[in-house]
A and B are shown apart, each in its own frame.
Chain A
Amino acid sequence: GESVGLHLPTLSVQEGDNSIINCAYSNSASDYFIWYKQESGKGPQFIIDIRSNMDKRQGQRVTVLLNKTVKHLSLQIAATQPGDSAVYFCAENSNTGFQKLVFGTGTRLLVSP
């Protein structure tokens, strides 16, 4: 859904664990979804994307799952490393008229050695 300035939820994991970050979206017309990683003091960087005609897509150590029935998106990070510590945002891009990116609130991932 749209960011409304709420404080970020935090996920704390140990190095080597698998991490799962969740995101709920609001627009059933959205057909393209993106996960971004933002390190402190920097702009968000693209991680992985998925289209609505898919329910799973895998990258290097990351997997995105899409459940259109409940409008839910998740990012799975395998073997989490300290360098994965960052804020993770999902974004949705509706296919109705102008494709404005709408960002979720974000989740802070903290990885302990």
Chain B
Amino acid sequence: DGGITQSPKYLFRKEGQNVTLSCEQNLNHDAMYWYRQDPGQGLRLIYYSQIVNDFQKGDIAEGYSVSREKKESFPLTVTSAQKNPTAFYLCASSTTGSAFHMNTEAFFGQGTRLTVV
């Protein structure tokens, strides 16, 4: 089935460690996104990528890094520089159609819950 897969579902990190969250999609989408969600709050954009080998900072990129070496993969690394990393992380993908009639809805993974211990 086509879709977007995040792994792991739960992740525990010790303070000072880097961790990498996986996001894979087989929808042939050009654009991919990472969002952070804190309890009872909305989605905040961390990074996004329009195309392979290109990515842009979102609203809260500090302490995070990404790569986009393959179209289907957009891993997120939460570095030790991120002071408050405990959150629910969501990955999404979409088409980047420039024509007005093309739908560009985003499809989301089921999320990774990261906890710092």
B-contacting residues of A (Cβ < 8 Å)?
Answer: 2-8, 31-32, 34, 36, 41-46, 49, 51, 89, 91, 93, 95, 98-106, 108
The CA of A27 and the CA of B107, in the complex, are separated in Å by 22
The CA of A46 and the CA of B109, in the complex, are separated in Å by 12
Q: How far is the CB of B60 from chain A (nearest CB, A)?
A: 8
* A residues in contact with B42, CB < 8 Å: 3-6, 8, 89, 103-106
Partner of B50, one of A3, A95, A98: A98
Using CB atoms, name the residue of chain B closest to A2: B59
Between-chain CB contacts (< 8 Å), 12 pairs: A3-B42, A3-B43, A3-B45, A5-B44, A8-B42, A32-B104, A44-B108, A45-B108, A95-B100, A98-B56, A101-B104, A105-B42
A-contacting residues of B (Cβ < 8 Å)?
Answer: 6, 31, 33, 35, 38, 40-45, 48, 50, 56, 59, 88, 90, 92, 94, 96-98, 100, 103-111, 113
| Interface pair B41/A101, CB less than 8 Å apart | no
* A residues in contact with B35, CB < 8 Å: 103
The CA of A89 and the CA of B41, in the complex, are separated in Å by 11
* B residues in contact with A103, CB < 8 Å: 35, 42-43, 45
Using CB atoms, name the residue of chain A closest to B59: A2
The CA of A64 and the CA of B112, in the complex, are separated in Å by 30
| Interface pair A5/B96, CB less than 8 Å apart | no
| Interface pair A5/B38, CB less than 8 Å apart | yes
Using CB atoms, name the residue of chain A closest to B58: A100
Partner of A43, one of B40, B96, B100, B109: B109
The CA of A31 and the CA of B38, in the complex, are separated in Å by 28
